[in-house]
Amino acid sequence: MSSDDDLFSGADDFSGLTPLEARAEMARLAAEIDRHNRLYYTEAQPEISDREYDAQFRRLEKLEAAFPELADPQSPTRRVGDTAEAPAAGPVATGFEQIRHPVPMLSIDDLFSEGEVADFFKRLQKNLGAERVPVTIEPKIDGVAVSIVYRDGVLDYAATRGDGATGDVITANVRTIASVPGRLPASAHPPAVFEVRGEVFMTNEGFARLNEERDEAGLPTFANPRNSTAGTLKLLDPAEVAKRPLDFIAHGFGLVEGAELASVGAFHELLDRCGLRKNEPIWRAGTLEEILAAIAELDEKRHGLGHGTDGAVIKVDDRASQERLGATSRAPRWAAAYKYPPEQKETVLHSITIQVGRTGVLTPVAELEPVFVSGTTVRRATLHNQDEIDRKDVRIGDTVVIEKAGEIIPSVVRVVMEKRRGDSAPFSLVEHVGHQCPSCGGPIEQPEGFVAWRCVNFACPAQAVNRIRQFSSRKALDIEGLGSVVAEALVTRELARSPLDLFAIPEASLAVLNLGTDEEPRMLGEKNAAKIVRTRERAIREMPLNRWIYAMGIPQVGESAALELARLHAGIRELAASEILAELRTLKTGDRKEDNPLLAPHRIASEVGPAVAKSVLDFFASNGGRAVLARLDELGIDPKPDNYAPLPDEAAASGDKPLAGKTFVITGTLSAPRDDIKARIVAAGGKVAGSISKNTDYLVAGEGGGSKRAKAEELGVEVIDEAALDALL
């Protein structure tokens, strides 16, 4: 057994923290833990291992212990449902009835080293006032906790843990599990009420078969047996659940009426009589040495059990001692779970492939000689990025050590240098892909300050979802009702490959877009479809050029750069063929725009420099950018700037542009449509911005418009009415 206290080292030394810092750190940790709970529970997309989750949770607990007066009563550590171990079943899935557990379903404290096991045992000795404390040691099953209640020997209901106090009633789903009897044999003399607690899980074999079948059927595969089990138990159709290979093992009990279960022995006898499967193997121990020996023996055996286990649960055996020790609001003091460090195996790295992620990030992936680790066969492992490859000096052909972080995500730990072949060479991601995106052949870039390389092609299919979201976002074209779920569905259902496809989808197809799964379809609906259609038409009609430029997600072009680019160009075509940008691109560091005779008259703002110029021109020269121009023509979309003023001085001097160089913001209700007023200001050389800043010259205020007026007054911006604007014009 290895001691890996280093994961938490320094975690309880908070002496250097001021109360303010401590509170900030607590808030940060609480937010992180909440986020990971959400990822784990509702999205089934955990980003970190159980171990990392634990480390955060414990750090928060320790901080709260060190600064009790600052602890938030709403902290995740105070909720029964949260646990220092990443929880297996989420709070409240939709579509199920809720039930209050007769006895709360508590969590369990984790131990990560021999030292922590020793501390736990010492506490037991002290609190029970005994040298020998009889305990049992059994596998911690990596499944989903459920409570199954029998009344007079008949299955009454089954429920998930939920938030620990209240769970989802999943009786119909649990009834489909062969190892859960609907009725206990009368000869077993079951207690009047018998609440059996245990884990629903999938065997490694059943899980592998299920994933193979899904893969063949073209369905997404599950990340691991536990996610697959949790997902299955949430299905609303028991007939579907029945097709999945679920199993059940009992490891405890809640409410029991009509029987005395004084020890684990008595409980196991009852399970045997009832035909319920008990958790095996089980060890008995009375000293620390015996406990550690049992933990080591279980480690030898656990991978042969056929299902996932991630620890050893140590429980005080007799009921009276359990009651004396009691529980905190979260976990009993009479039990703890030792978590095994992840298993490591050697294997050969045959090749490295490059995946393109949703944001265009190129991720190198190790293609491995298949090897069985922590219960499943591992064929691939992420290598993260070039820096990571360099740091570990990973090369094709190397023998590498791999492990499954949190028993989920395989990773390469290190290279076995003694086994390196003489002919190996350092790996370069960029050379490997020939300086092109392996998904679309588009250009790739390494943004300054980032380790990752990214594909910057607007039409890269691997990035479609993200691009569509950026394109539709509030600050871009504000197409309403196009969040990540809808964008994802549009791409997976092949209605859109790139953002401009949005304009060609018939309203009827949008209305029937399936946002759910094949098992549980959920349509977008007519109202939402109409909203998308209405706002996409508004984008074509009303959105000024700067919004369109921003919407394209060109690297380095943020909102203010887009606004400045729109001021300098009369349309997208002009931007794509911009002489201003071509000149700007040639400037070297230290060259000033003001000293360049071609650029000086344009008075280009600092947001647009040589790097932006290059990025924009590269974009429109790329296949993706050219496709954008062609597609806009095809769709008849030709956005115009509403702040066009490439030569501000000339306009000002000519006298017929009385508002040149002046920036306006409009608020409230005016006598004419806002767009008309805007057009008059722009025609007179002025600019119209959406929000007030210190660069605003005038706020034109009609009826209402309170918040902008207040902001203007705060910043000392002159507020004028329509009559005053007319005078200026």
* Catalytically active residues, by annotation: 140
Q: Which helix (H) or strand (E) holds 313?
A: strand 309-316
Instruction: Name the closest residue to ligand IVH (Cβ).
Output: 145
Residue from 26, 86, 88, 274 binding ligand IVH (CB under 6 A): 88
How is 188-238 classified by DSSP, letter by letter?
Answer: G---SEEEEEEEEEEBHHHHHHHHHHHHHTTPPPPSSHHHHHHHHHT-S-H
**Smallest distance from the beta carbon of 145 to ligand IVH, in angstroms?**
3
Helix, coil or strand: residue 312: strand
The amino acid at 153: G
Residue 520 CB, nearest approach to ligand IVH (Å): 25
Cis peptide before 410 (omega within 30 of 0): no
Cite the beta strand spans of 319-478 per DSSP E.
335-339, 344-356, 362-373, 376-382, 399-405, 409-415, 444-445, 454-455
- What string marks each residue from 159 to 198 as x (binds ligand IVH by CB under 6 A) or -? ----------------------------------------
The span of 101-109, 147-155, 647-655, 692-700 binding ligand IVH (CB under 6 A) equals: 101-109
Q: How large is the angle between the packed helices 225-233 and 204-216, nearest 10 degrees?
A: 70
- Round to whole Å and give the CA distance between 663 and 690: 10
- Residue 230 or 551 with smaller CB distance to ligand IVH: 230
Taking the complex as a whole, the smallest distance from the CB of residue 277 to ligand IVH amounts, in Å, to: 12
Q: Does 106 bind ligand IVH (CB under 6 A)?
A: yes
Residue 637 CB, shortest distance to ligand IVH, in Å, is: 54
Residue 158 parent element (H or E):
strand 154-160
Q: Please, which of residues 617-656 interact with ligand IVH by CB under 6 A? A: none
- The residue (of 88 and 491) whose beta carbon lies closer to ligand IVH is 88
Beta bridge partners of 193: 151, 257
CB nearer ligand IVH, residue 88 or residue 486: 88
Task: Look up tokens 């579907």; give the residue.
Answer: 240
Task: Report the distance separating Cα 36 and Cα 56, nearest Å.
Answer: 10
Q: Which residues, including other chains, have CB under 8 Å from residue 508's CB and lie 6 or more apart?
A: 529
CB of 76 to ligand IVH, least distance (A): 16
- Contact segment (CB under 6 A) with ligand IVH among 105-113, 228-236, 318-326, 644-652 equals 105-113
Is 86 an interacting residue with respect to ligand IVH (CB under 6 A)? Answer: no
Residue 313 corresponds to which tokens in the numbers above? 């649960």
Q: How far apart are CA 557 and CA 571, in angstroms?
A: 16
Identify which of residues 339 and 657 has a Cβ nearer to ligand IVH in the complex: 339
Per-residue x/- marks for ligand IVH, 223-262, CB under 6 A?
----------------------------xx----------
In the list 54, 64, 109, 138, the residue contacting ligand IVH (rule: CB under 6 A) is 138
* Closest among 534, 499, 509 to 635, alpha carbons compared: 499
Residues 6+ apart with CB under 8 A from 254: 101, 102, 103, 105, 147, 195, 197
**Which of 276, 342, 268, 277 shows the shortest CA–CA distance to 303?**
342
> Can you tell me the distance from the alpha carbon of 227 to that of 214, in angstroms, rounded to the nearest whole number?
15
**For ligand IVH, the closer CB: 315 or 602:** 315
Six-digit token pair at 491? Answer: 């791409």
- Identify the H or E element spanning 689: strand 687-689
Q: Smaller CB distance to ligand IVH: residue 102 or 506?
A: 102
Which position among 135, 141, 271, 456 is part of the footprint of ligand IVH (CB under 6 A)?
141
Tell the smallest beta-carbon distance from residue 708 to ligand IVH (Å). 53
145 belongs to the binding site for ligand IVH (CB under 6 A): yes
Which listed range, 32-40, 135-143, 413-421, 689-697, lies at the site for ligand IVH (CB under 6 A)?
Answer: 135-143
CB closer to ligand IVH out of 77 and 439: 77
Count residues binding ligand IVH (CB under 6 A): 15
Contacting range for ligand IVH; rule: CB under 6 A; set: 102-110, 117-125, 216-224, 261-269:
102-110
Nearer CB in complex with ligand IVH: 234/469: 234
Binding ligand IVH (rule: CB under 6 A), the pick from 33, 60, 99, 108 is 108
Closest approach of Cβ 222 to ligand IVH, in Å?
Answer: 19
Which of 64, 114, 199, 247 binds ligand IVH (CB under 6 A)? It is 199
> Which residues inside 310-369 make contact with ligand IVH, applying CB under 6 A?
313, 332, 335
* 104 or 191: CB nearest ligand IVH: 104
Q: Which is nearer to ligand IVH, 103 or 653 (CB)?
A: 103
CA 571 and chain centroid, separation: 38
Q: Of the ranges 5-13, 100-108, 462-470, 658-666, which one interacts with ligand IVH (CB under 6 A)?
A: 100-108
In the block, tokens 């210190």 appear at: 694
d(CA 632, CA 625): 11
Helices (H), 243-335: 264-274, 288-302, 319-325
- Here's the x/- map for ligand IVH, 406-445, by CB under 6 A: it reads as ----------------------------------------
Which run of H or E residues covers position 665? strand 663-667
Would you say 108 or 412 has its CB closer to ligand IVH? 108
For the CB of residue 282, give the shortest distance to ligand IVH in the complex, in Å.
9
Cβ atoms within 10 Å of 168's Cβ, excluding its own: 25
CA 626 remoteness from chain centre: 33
Tokens of 58: 């414990």
Residues 276-305 that bind ligand IVH (CB under 6 A): 279
| Closest separation in Å from C-beta 251 to ligand IVH | 4
Query: CB 108 → ligand IVH: shortest distance, Å?
Result: 4
Asked if residue 148 lies in contact with residue 180, where contact means CB atoms within 8 angstroms, the answer is yes
Beta bridge partners of 154: 151, 183
The C-alpha angle 508, 514, 517, rounded to 5 degrees, equals 170
Q: Which residues bind ligand IVH (CB under 6 A)?
A: 88, 106-108, 138, 140-141, 145, 199, 251-252, 279, 313, 332, 335
